[in-house]
Amino acid sequence: MMLYPALIALGMALIFLGVQVLWAWRLAACYPPPNTPAPPDEDLPRAAVVLSVRGADPSLVDCLHGLLQQDYPDYKVHIVIDSEHDPAWELLRPLLDDEAAARVHVRVLETKYATCSLKVSGTVQAIGDLDAEVRVVVLIDADVIPYAHWLRDLVRPLRDPGVGATSGVRWFLPETDDWGSLVRGLWNAAACSQMFAFRIPWAGSLAFRAELFRDSDLLDQWKRCFCEDTMSYGALRRLGLRVCFVPAATMVNPERIALKSCYSFIRRQLLTVRLHHPCWPLVRVTGVGAGLTLLLLLAVSVTSLGVGDFLSAGLTAGALAAFVAGMASALLWIDTSLRRMARKRGVRLPASLWWKLALAGPLTQGIYVAALVSVSFLRKVDWRGITYELYDPTPVRLTAYHPYRAEVGHADGPVSVV
């Protein structure tokens, strides 16, 4: 009686869920086994690290400490702070001593373009001021704490002339078990596999050949975008270059986040794909299709049990279990590899919360589908207190500027600034 619905559900599972598992395991296969020898050393070009700051991220001080301790022969750090009144100054001023002054250049954001985000304006300003001897431009976010070999790992693949940019990804290991942190960690783990599959770079750990900014209109393109990282894939592809994923440059983030802010975060990440990546239709179809498939498998399984059709119930329940096992095993493989890498870097890690993350799975799937549907019709978005309106053909327009206003944080852990 329920065989035909069960076969339809199985077909959808093969398409929408199977591809998710395939992406996850392709990403997992990139992470090297333990005790893999480090690549040989080589001559490294002059690099410029660019950090655009608005607000005092809880990891900002550790981020700067990590940048100052890079095992890299020739680099400087260029920080652009949103305004003279930004709370980030209180954190950075004590660190800018004589030793740091030779390595770090700090400026206030001067030009706030109305057709891009403030973060992009800061990045464009810093890159536009670089001298011609810089060969590599590296972007980092304030919530990233770079390890000693971070610059080396990102720059090394640029020896290949076909590589225009290299990128890591971000992996959340929350220190608390509140729902927002768990949902974001679980959603991001699955999103990383899509970023790898579609070559979506991440500006928190991203390096470019500097000649791209001198020999092409890439900076002008950035001035008309919401985020510089996602749109760079298409720009590089048009130049005949590719983005290289660097597993070692995966950055662990332990910050917590409230559930409401988590939804805003996920929706904003999806917005950058909608605005700037050619694979957005595929991301939307696979995301919504996976959510509907999971609901259909569950409904057919329960209904089949109710009417005594144990064959259909077994087929659909087995498909559901196979998807969960496949995704969980792939993400657990990555998580284990990253924890091993982080321990070698001396990073203090929170205890594993995988069993609690499993409980957050259905909630994560529901929030993801809701965000996918919502972002398809989104015409306005808030980012760190600034409202951006979304238009065609200009993707984004800054409505009004004001300095960042700090929000009250929580005493029981670092809270993400959104």
Q: pLDDT in tens for each of the 418 residues of the chain?
A: 688 889 999 999 999 999 999 999 999 999 877 655 655 667 899 999 999 999 999 999 999 999 999 999 999 999 999 999 999 999 898 887 766 678 999 999 999 999 999 999 999 999 999 999 999 999 999 999 999 999 999 999 999 999 999 999 999 987 778 899 999 999 999 999 999 999 999 999 999 999 999 999 999 999 999 999 999 999 999 999 999 999 999 998 989 999 999 999 999 999 999 999 999 999 999 999 999 999 999 999 999 988 989 999 999 999 999 998 999 899 888 888 888 888 887 777 666 666 677 788 899 999 999 999 999 999 999 999 999 999 876 789 999 999 998 754 444 568 888 8
Measure CA 33 to chain center.
Answer: 23
Question: 249 is written with which tokens?
Answer: 């440059």
The total number of residues shown for the chain amounts to 418
Helix (H) or strand (E) holding 411: none
> Please, are residues 89 and 403 in contact by the beta-carbon 8 Å criterion?
no
User: What is the reported pLDDT for 417?
Assistant: 87
Question: 143 is written with which tokens?
Answer: 């919530």
Of 177, 181, 202, whose CA–CA distance to 191 is shortest? 202
User: What is the reported pLDDT for 34?
Assistant: 61
Q: 3-class SS at 176?
A: coil
Is 0.85 surpassed by the pTM of this model? Answer: yes
Of 367, 24, 359, whose CA–CA distance to 194 is shortest? 24
Q: How far apart are CA 307 and CA 32, in angstroms?
A: 49
User: What is the reported pLDDT for 176?
Assistant: 78
Q: How far apart are CA 313 and CA 233, in angstroms?
A: 43
Pairing label, strands 104-108, 75-81: parallel
Of 177, 171, 219, whose CA–CA distance to 196 is shortest? 171
Of 301, 341, 340, whose CA–CA distance to 320 is shortest? 301
User: What is the reported pLDDT for 340?
Assistant: 83
Q: 3-class SS at 104?
A: strand
Q: Helices 179-198 and 259-276 sit at what angle, rounded to 10 degrees?
A: 20
Q: CA torsion, points 101, 102, 103, 106, in degrees to nearest 10?
A: 40
